[in-house]
């Protein structure tokens, strides 16, 4: 039996903490021991605050995963994130990712403190980002985020590697932080914003194909291969402060890294030279990394 980690499939979470870190030299055995404790830590917090619906996911980069997997077929698609679009998408790859999500930011914080305590100085935190849901699931841009996310049984199909694969229960994870230029965005009228996104702003309707710009966001990420959509599971949330930087913490899980990568190649002009209009009108990518998120059973039993 293989069980996906608890951040992959849930829908409607309203708060998250994303931590990326590097493993200190010669401390891999300590990382393994910490991972063995995580299920108990999570259960303790879930018991104390069941209404929060806490989830915890831990993923490993290509720099680390080959030393932890049991079989070379586990996470075989994993690779380091590379810069795209002549630097439009920078690579900021780290060794390990910790994703916490729930309906309660305070519960996230308490869980994060205990998770980091378990790892101790075996890891060195490089970035910590707190995300939160805004009204009607809209981002700072005013548009509903994640409308095309798979729902119901399709989430398992697209988000989790199926048996009998050696890495069944696992997922690939993309973490990418986008900083928003909201003054520039707010200077555009709703019609222009809708054209850039490819959806109507007020009622969240997809623009007809004959009206949709090929370099709109929807035009760049609504991809198909052999008649099948290249779907991903998004757990993204806005981040930021009232007085400072604001943007989107983009979090995507998928059973195939291929689906994630094809969307990025299209967005950042690697396929045909056209880049996503969001990149020139509101969003600047400031980080990028790939991780493999093994099943709960494998996380507790690393090589």
Catalytic positions are 145
CB atoms closer than 10 angstroms to residue 51: 10
Please say whether the beta carbons of 128 and 16 come within 8 A.
no
Residues 6+ apart with CB under 8 A from 122: 23, 24, 27, 30, 31, 34
């Amino acid at each position: 039996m293989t069980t996906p980690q608890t951040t992959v499939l849930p829908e409607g979470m309203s708060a998250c903490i994303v931590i990326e870190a590097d493993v200190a030299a010669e401390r891999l055995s300590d990382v393994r021991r910490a991972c063995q404790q995580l299920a108990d830590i999570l259960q303790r917090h879930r018991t104390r605050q069941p209404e929060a619906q806490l989830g915890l996911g831990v993923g490993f980069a290509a720099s680390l995963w080959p030393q932890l997997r049991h079989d070379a077929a586990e996470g075989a698609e994993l690779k380091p994130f590379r810069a795209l679009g002549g630097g439009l998408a920078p690579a900021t790859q780290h060794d390990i990712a910790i994703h916490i999500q729930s309906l309660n930011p305070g519960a996230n914080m308490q869980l994060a403190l205990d998770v980091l305590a378990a790892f101790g100085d075996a890891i060195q935190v490089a970035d910590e980002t707190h995300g939160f849901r805004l009204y009607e699931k809209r981002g700072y841009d005013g548009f509903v985020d994640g409308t095309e996310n798979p729902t119901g049984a399709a989430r398992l199909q697209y988000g989790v590697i199926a048996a009998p694969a050696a890495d069944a229960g696992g997922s690939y994870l993309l973490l990418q932080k986008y900083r928003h230029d909201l003054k520039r965005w707010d200077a555009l009228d709703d019609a222009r914003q809708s054209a850039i996104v490819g959806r109507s702003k007020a009622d969240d309707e997809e623009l007809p194909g004959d009206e949709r710009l090929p370099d709109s966001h929807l035009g760049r990420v609504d991809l198909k291969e052999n008649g099948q959509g290249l779907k991903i599971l998004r757990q993204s949330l806005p981040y930021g402060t009232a007085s400072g930087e604001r943007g989107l913490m983009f979090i995507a899980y998928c059973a195939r890294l291929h689906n994630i990568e094809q969307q990025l190649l299209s967005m950042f002009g690697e396929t045909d030279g056209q880049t996503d209009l969001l990149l020139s009108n509101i969003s600047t990518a400031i980080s990028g990394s790939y991780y493999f998120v093994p099943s709960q059973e494998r996380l507790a039993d690393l090589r």
